[in-house]
Structure 1
């Protein structure tokens, strides 16, 4: 494996860890909980997954002249603003997680196989729209990490579940008692500035 191939593989593998983390945040929740908005801007878990599918189809597909092989619900005429950020009642969880998000991974995988890191692409709306696969892979790692962080917070607001991945909560406290003690320390420190 050449250094460029190793670097490409590292970027793809890191992206997959992030993708899996995002989907894990939906595990064990009700349809209502994965769809309900928990911030004033409407952030919700299933919407984050749908948005990431839109990003992957766009950046790993359209940017390299490889349109999505399926009809994308957010691109249909008459769709609402931010249609990729929430799930309509007729859009099942399976449609979004498997029919869209995991399909976007397959489509991206074909792009990764076909193109080298220096392959040219086009990202309209970017300050410099002429991009490479390397730039897009870095961007999608950042984009997915950003939304994985949103999913972390939203999930914690729903039921208190926290952590990076299944089996790795990566938190320094292991019991609810230690978690509460930590929360109280942080709250007390903040309260000194009231």
Structure 2
């Protein structure tokens, strides 16, 4: 069971990192939603979550303190990259956070208990934390998929398996127009 959970976590991590491939500095940092969701910020946030949930929760401190999380941190500072933070630094941080998390996952049993200070010091098992972080990572990978599609049209699960129907660009344009027309028709009926 632990191997299955770990596999789903790894899949979300891979998808999240893939979304950065081939994009400019501007595009990986661009805020494309009202809440400023951006690709590099999603990776930075995910690194912090891995460090917190698989480090702090189980008393396994990470090698580096993150100034953008915890008491006194600026609100939402983990969700975007400053101009001084490089892509390489953030991706490297995420990879080191993953290695740290993987060490915790491999070392502990699923019923090992840790404490989550930001949940009122709640006691949780590694199993609970794994499920929580899988859900969060996959959710952010979905955000990244949409943001990446808004940037350059690239969509899908992974470069080797996009998990999309086999179709050419003209099919997608027709499909989008068909969905748009259905939305317009439905709105006219309800007005």
Q: 1:78 to 1:116 in 2, by over 3 A?
A: closer
Q: CA deviation at 1:58?
A: 0.4
1:137 pairs with 2:156: no
1:142-165 CA-to-partner distances (Å, cap 9, x unmatched) read 000100000000000001111111
Q: Which moved more, 1:18-27 or 1:127-136?
A: 127-136
CA-atom RMSD, angstroms?
1.6
Q: Which residue matches 2:48?
A: 54
Q: Which residue matches 1:80?
A: 74
1:101 pairs with 2:94: yes
- Runs (4 or more) in structure 1 with deviation over 4 Å come to 76-79
- Match of 1:74, SS state, is coil
Q: CA deviation at 1:73?
A: 3.6
Scaled by the length of structure 1, the TM-score of the pair is 0.91
Scaled by the length of structure 2, the TM-score of the pair is 0.93
Q: 1:188 to 1:103 in 2, by over 3 A?
A: same
1:138-189 CA-to-partner distances (Å, cap 9, x unmatched) read 0111000100000000000001111111121111142111111110111011
1:5-44 superposed matches below 5 A: 7-44=1-38
Q: Which residue matches 2:142?
A: 149
- Match of 1:105, SS state, is helix
Q: CA deviation at 1:35?
A: 0.3
1:85-112 CA-to-partner distances (Å, cap 9, x unmatched) read 00011111011011x1001111011111
1:37-96 CA-to-partner distances (Å, cap 9, x unmatched) read 000101000000000001000000000011111132414886532110000111110110
Q: Which residue matches 1:119?
A: 112
Structure 2 gaps, min length 5: none
Q: 1:76 to 1:144 in 2, by over 3 A?
A: closer
Q: Which residue matches 2:164?
A: 171
What is the aligned length? 187
